[in-house]
Structure 1
Amino acid sequence: MFRYLLASLLALTLATPAFAADARQSLERFFSEVSRFDARFEQLVINEQDEVLQASEGRVQLQRPGRFRWDYEQPFRQLIIADGQFLWTYDEELAQATAQPMERVLAGAPIMLLSEPRPLEQDFEVSVVGERGELNWVELTPRDRDADFTRILIGMDGDRVGMMVLYDQFGQQTRIRFSNMRINPSIPAATFRFEAPPGVDVIRH
């Protein structure tokens, strides 16, 4: 799932130099100044024929480095937590949880773009795409040609990430739109710890 987790838009127009500078500077400020955020999200997975394969929504909380919580509320309950060492996936309907080492599962995954404090240029070629609607867009192309995704588009809403789109090697894209984002709020440490409810099967890899 995480290898299809981040986002942007199609058919973007070119920006003026002023908007170009603003978009890139806003993105760089976001990654340098934001250590935590709490937001609502809507996620769409779309195939090459522009058909929606999956639509979901929920809440995301993130704390750098290496901690996040994706709480899918609709259409099914699913919880994904990274606690700094392990990635936990809990399926409420199946009453099953799995734990896997983060370094093995998330190496190179797009979610680490948000959760790890490292310069964008270290892993991506960065270029400004332009302004469309209310967002200013920046494109990230992985330097690793064997990456599972071909590019990431990030739409900046002022100094906040408003939307992201990930394009994978198979032509599929995942769009995530953020709303009600709170920057650097106080987030309890327990948010990023998983405790299996009674009766839940826990599988460790």
Structure 2
Amino acid sequence: MPPPPGGAVATARRGRLRRVGLMAGLLLACAAARADAVDTLREFVREVKTGRAAFTQTVTSPDGKRARTSGGRFEFARPDRFRFAYAKPFEQLIVGDGQKVWIYDPDLQQASVRPMSQALGATPAALLTGTTLERDFELSALPARDGLAWAQAKPRRADAGFELLRVGFAGKQLAAVEIVDGFGQTSVLRFSEVEQGVELPAETFRFTLPAGAELLTQ
């Protein structure tokens, strides 16, 4: 069979070049989008000083079976002030006041308290409410998933108590956090009704031991 005319060869080559160019453009766009997720995380830590949201938390065992689901409200103010108020299936309150972390169980009428420096460290709460992102975590970009842009944060400290976090953003807004602990268990927090940059009363991050409750110090 005779070779195709020169014009046809040139056209075919131009088509291949266009396809290669399109693929390269898509790869560059994907790489840029992934890099943007890390930039979004950096901007979140740098620019978003306060926030609040509803959350649901699902904890899954290493074998993939769902272990438990809980939910409540989350509020934070940098630096190092936060409040997790679990409403279901059981009430529990976790408050970081900038100096100490308090955990209160209404059913047991017991509270525990630890210094912030011991309780926080390179933890998920430190990432969401702290200011030392680059010092405490190694950051990398992940492929988009579930309509969100994802960044991964791996603690630099070996004793952080967990393996890694994945933080998902819808645009510039915090949408999800996934935590993989040292036992392979995964906790997924999904946020809704998110408000960033809101004014929060100082008492939001104060804990007063209820009358009759027992205080356990650690």
In the superposition, the TM-score normalised over structure 1's length comes to: 0.87
Letter in 2 for 1:195: T
Equivalent pair of 2:111/2:216 in contact (CA under 8 Å) = yes
Q: Could you tell me which amino acid in structure 1 is paired with residue 69 of structure 2? A: A
Structure 1: tracts of 5 or more residues without a match:
1-13
Deviation sequence 1:74-104 (CA, Å, 0-9, x none): 0001101111111111101111112221112
What's 2:121 paired with? 107
Q: Which runs of 5+ in 2 are unaligned?
A: 1-26
Give the one of 163, 173, 176 matched to 2:186: 173
Which of 171, 177, 192 aligns to 1:158? It is 171
2:162 is matched with 149
Q: Is the CA contact (8 Å cut-off) linking 2:122 and 2:137 kept in structure 1?
A: no
Query: What is the match of residue 104 of structure 2?
Result: 90
Which residues in structure 2 correspond to 1:41-120 (within 5 Å)? 41-118=55-132, 120=133
Decide whether the 8 Å contact of 2:37 with 2:149 is kept in 1: yes
Cα deviations across residues 153-187 of structure 1 (Å, max 9, x unaligned)? 11111101211111112111111111111111110
Distance 1:184 1:44, change over 3 A: same
Once residues 128 and 104 of structure 1 are traced to their aligned partners in structure 2, the CA distance between those partners, rounded to angstroms, is 29
Aligned residues: percent identity?
A: 39
1:135 aligns with 2:145: no
| TM-score, structure 2 normalization | 0.82
Compared CA separation, residues 145 and 88, structure 1 to 2 (3 A): closer
Q: Which amino acid aligns with 1:30?
A: F
Higher relative contact order (CA 8 A, sep 6+): 1
Q: Which has the higher helix share?
A: 2
